[in-house]
Amino acid sequence: MEKLRIMADEDRKVIRIANDFTWIESNVNLPRPRTELGFSVQRWETYKALFKKASIQEGISRTQDIPNAIFFIASASGLVTGGSEKGYAYLPSPPAKVYGSLDKFPNDSKSNLPSFRNLDGNWYLYSSWDD
């Protein structure tokens, strides 16, 4: 996971990296030519191999809501509206609230905002949902 984090930091203008697409800050349109991935095709293949090794099924994302955070999406279900996702997050500074468990969505969780449980240092488990 640390290698993925370092690579994502180096490629911070690529805000979503999945197995079958990327979004860059200046262009989230799909499809885009492979020359507009945000990095080389070879580097994308490295990401995909590391995703597989770490069981990161849905890739990496960044959000404007939590600047500098990197989300490693282990699983996702549902649609853009009415879905949920879980995974790991790297946060350079602690979130406002940390939970002891994410086995179920915390009662005070809000749609589209992740809930966090600390793993070690700046690494967290996260879960989020939207309605």
Alpha-carbon distance of 127 to 117, in angstroms, equals 9
∠ CA(59), CA(127), CA(48), 5° rounding? 10
User: Interhelix angle for 41-54 vs 2-10, to 10°?
Assistant: 150
Q: What is the pLDDT of residue 77?
A: 87
Query: Could you tell me the maximum CA-CA distance found in the chain, to the nearest angstrom?
Result: 45
pLDDT tens for the 131 residues of the chain, in order: 899 999 999 999 999 999 999 999 988 888 888 889 999 999 999 999 999 999 999 999 999 889 899 999 999 887 666 788 999 999 999 998 999 988 887 788 777 789 999 999 999 999 988 87
For 47, the enclosing helix (H) or strand (E) is helix 41-54
